[in-house]
Chain A
Amino acid sequence: MRWALLTASVAPATTALWAGIVLIGGVEPSVPALTWVEGLDLEFRFTIDALALLMTVLVSGIGALVFVYAVGYFGPGANDGGRFAASLLAFSTSMLGLVWADSVWTLFIFWELTSVTSFLLVGHKNTSPSVQMAARRALMITGGGGLALLAGLLVLADAAGTTVISNLSPVAGTAGTVAAVLVLIGAATKSAQVPFHVWLPGAMAAPTPVSAYLHSATMVKAGVLLVAVTGPAFADVVAFKTLGLAFGITSMFWGGIGALRHRDAKLILAWGTVSQLGLLITLLAVGSGKAILAAVSILLAHALFKAALFLVVGEIDMRTGTRNIDELGGLSRSMPVAFGVAVAAGLSMAGVPPLLGFTAKEAAIEAVLKLSGFEQVVVGIGVIGGSVLTVAYTLRFLLGVFGPGPATQVGPARLSMTAPAVILATAGVVGFWTLGLVNDLVRPAAIELNAKAEVYELVRWPGMTTAFIISAAIVVVGGVLGTAVTRRPPTVPAPIGAEGADSILDGTLGMAKRLTARIQHGSLPVYVATMTATASLAALPFFTDLNLDHLVWWNHPLQAVLALAIVASAVGGAFVGSRLGAALTLGAVGTGVSALFVVHGAPDLALTQLLVETVIVVGFVIGLGPLARRFPSVAGPWKAARLAVSVFAGVAVTLALAAAGSNPSGRAPVADLATSAVADGGGNNIANVILTDMRAVDTLGEVVVLATVAIGILALANTNPSKASE
């Protein structure tokens, strides 16, 4: 258990170290690419640039810490640590692929992989029905968003004329709008934006290391990252900014309100994440240089403080057995280290100096002040209102968990759980005092997204600027609000939206079941009619090529006689009442056709056709054994439908073949084939040399199909209905 997790932590730790060294040493973007399907622009293409490296440090660094933390979280008794370590490592890899991706298809593949691995991790405790539901809900919403993203990327790549993300040119017009809306929906599902946020609180059913890693620091940032890297391409699209702001500002408010309603400390943080992600989406939708710099800074700061807070909550849950803030209290004395971490991280979240969160939030407010007109009003209300709520729920969280109250019984501490939280919280403090280093990390990434970000940098102490006064006012108002809400007797909050998502999920599954029952009805005559009608429809477009002038009616009078015999047999077959009689008339048709081949000078074809007919007729004799001797009588509309399909199929095939026959192109290849058959194939039978030498690959494919059919029949024959019903 312990060793599985510690071994798994080596890979992310090494990656983080490498990324950190490269990042500090100055980034030379490298572009490894592996072509997959040429001509379709399908390739695995990665770019390691400043933004990718910053995300790499976060993904791998926090990943390594979370592995260490999991050792303490699961304890020595747990027995499915191997599965957990494997899933978490798979997620970590998918996430790295996502942040490095430079082709829209690579991005999409890793995007989906993070959804799938997240499903496995949320559903880690796979025996609980509520956990299963939460995992399914998360998969349905993020997976549905993935479909929207795929459509959006298709439109975007088509409009921009490239699949390489770093080469995307600005798109405009209807295509741009459609792509922007679809990509934003994809991003909103992943980054838990209202109204797609309902999966995130449910995903708190996951083990706390997962919540800290996926649902605060990394996976939920995938949507943010997507908006960031596609932002330049959508710079001229109005819908991108409008919808982005709508998602972001709504989520900021609704997430903040949710965090004030809940009593589970983990849910408070989860709703807070919805709010913070809303802030990030808002800033990226604004897209100005300062806003991008603020967004990248908050991305970094949020990953640090939110992961630290989750780890603290997990430790409290482990040591006290509860996460309910009504039952918790007085932990500031009994868990001083956790208290210190929570205060440092919490104040960073609230935007209080001297912490990294303060600097980042200052940048956001300054970005708002640089806007003008209606946009400034809307974004300003969003950012300031959201920040007030953030201060309020942070205070409620700190007071509820650590504040005065009946002292909660506390279990023994585990170093492996404490240390990672301390490291993350310390990073937030150190980041503020070594702001030069943080600037070196953040600015190149921001400049990559918007060149105008170059003139800005993060400031440690702005002085008494407007932004600082607003910041101070936010803290005061939020503090008052937070204190008031904490004292209010809490009510049980209704999980708005979750039932809706669940009923959509149930409805989707039910609809799939009904649809399958309708399509796969099991009636062989209807299957045959459907397939015949569809194939005949496919022959329709060739009718126009029919050219009666070029059509050769016959080469030999015998052909006309044989044709008449074939038609007579076919017509007879339609009227024969007994099954065996019908099989024999079909055999007569086939034999007539093979006679036609003989007249035309194709003995090989005739021989094969004749043998096929023989085997089929004998097969009919065997197969018809258990059935009634005569066909069941068919009447009414079903008979009419069968007649219509049959006539349609006959006409369609006849006309399509006539159309093909009346359009000879070039010279017949017989002479060339005859020469090469002897020269290359060493045989005089052209047909067979084609089969075994010149086009032997085709034959190989055909016999593989035959073998597959044989195996399929054997498998079907082995499924014993009486056994299945037992």
Chain B
Amino acid sequence: MTLSHSPAAQIGIQTSSPLAVIVGIYLLFAGHNNPGGGFAAGLVFGAVIALRTVAGLQRPAYARELTTIGLLIVATVAIAPLLWGDPLLDQQVISAQFPILGKVKSGSALVFDLGVTAIVIGLVVAVLDGLGASELGTPELGSAGPNAPDLDPTSPGGATTTTTTPTTSDPAQARRGE
């Protein structure tokens, strides 16, 4: 299935994407003292990815990697305090003086939030993949995609499913086929 994408939407989303990413990063750091946090930041990034998918723009497709990294981060932050005899998930707060930013106070909660963000993005990308986002003909970063040139469309067997019929292709499949 091929969709004709509205140029206006494409340009709008293309221009606003960097802004949205900055908003997401702000939310991640602001979370401790102002509205925001890891979950909200992840959703902003997720929304950007979802909108780019709809508009037919490039988007990252690293669901598995993001989820894995996120899980590793939260697990590390959770378990690390045990090594020093502190309770599970005990927070370490550090503050430092920086030239322009002034006094910056942060803690291991920020790292924890980073892991949450990664998992949320991973989930959104996974859902998009599961819903068949690749059927929209979206070019994907980090994935061979439906129209990957390195796959031989005439080859028999499973690999052909990623190339011949878009309805049965999905990015994870394509990655495995590489």
Interface residues of A (CB under 8 A from B): 603-604, 607-608, 611-612, 614-615, 618-619, 621-623, 625-626, 681-685, 687-689, 691-693, 696-697, 699-700, 703-704, 706-707, 709-711, 713-714, 716-718, 720-723, 726
Contacts and interface: CB of A to CB of B under 8 A. Distances in A.
Contacts of B47: 611, 614-615, 618
Contacts of A692: 31-32, 37-38, 91, 109, 112-113
Contacts of B70: 703, 707
B20 to A, nearest CB: 11
Name B's interface SS. helix
Nearest to A623: B131
B161 interface: yes
10 contacts: A604-B35, A608-B43, A614-B50, A682-B105, A685-B31, A697-B88, A709-B123, A710-B127, A720-B173, A722-B161
A724 to B, nearest CB: 11
B167 interface: yes
A722 B161 CA distance: 8
A713 B130 contact: yes
Contacts of B39: 608, 691
Contact of B35 (A607, A699, A706, A721): A607
A696 B89 contact: yes
Interface in B36-83: 36-40, 43-44, 46-47, 50-51, 53-54, 63-64, 67, 70-71, 74, 78
Contact of A720 (B44, B105, B113, B161): B161
A194 B135 CA distance: 64
Given A684-B33, A693-B91, A703-B116, A608 B132 contact: no
Contact of B132 (A625, A700, A721): A625
B32 A684 contact: yes
B50 to A, nearest CB: 4
Contacts of B127: 619, 710, 713
Interface in B1-35: 1, 3, 27, 31-35
Contacts of A723: 158, 161, 168
B165 to A, nearest CB: 8
B43 A707 contact: no
A515 to B, nearest CB: 29
Nearest to A682: B93
Nearest to A604: B35
B35 A700 contact: no
A615 B46 contact: yes
Nearest to A716: B130
A710 B122 contact: yes
B50 A706 contact: no
B133 interface: yes
Nearest to A618: B50
Contacts of B165: 722
Given A707-B122, A722-B168, A717 B129 contact: yes
A707 B123 contact: yes
A709 B123 CA distance: 7
Nearest to A621: B54
A717 B172 contact: yes
Contacts of A710: 63, 67, 119, 122-123, 125-127
Contact of A700 (B46, B63, B89, B135): B89
Given A683-B32, A714-B64, A720-B173, A615 B89 contact: no
A697 B32 contact: no
Given A689-B109, A720-B170, 15 more contacts: A619-B127, A622-B53, A681-B32, A681-B91, A682-B32, A682-B91, A685-B36, A691-B39, A696-B91, A697-B88, A697-B89, A699-B112, A699-B116, A718-B170, A720-B158
Given A696-B89, A706-B120, A707-B122, A611 B43 contact: yes
Nearest to B31: A688
B115 to A, nearest CB: 7
A70 B104 CA distance: 74
Contacts of A608: 39-40, 43
B71 to A, nearest CB: 5
Interface in B163-178: 165, 167-168, 170, 172-173, 176
B151 interface: no
Nearest to A704: B71
Nearest to A699: B116
A689 B34 CA distance: 11
B107 interface: yes
Contacts of B144: none
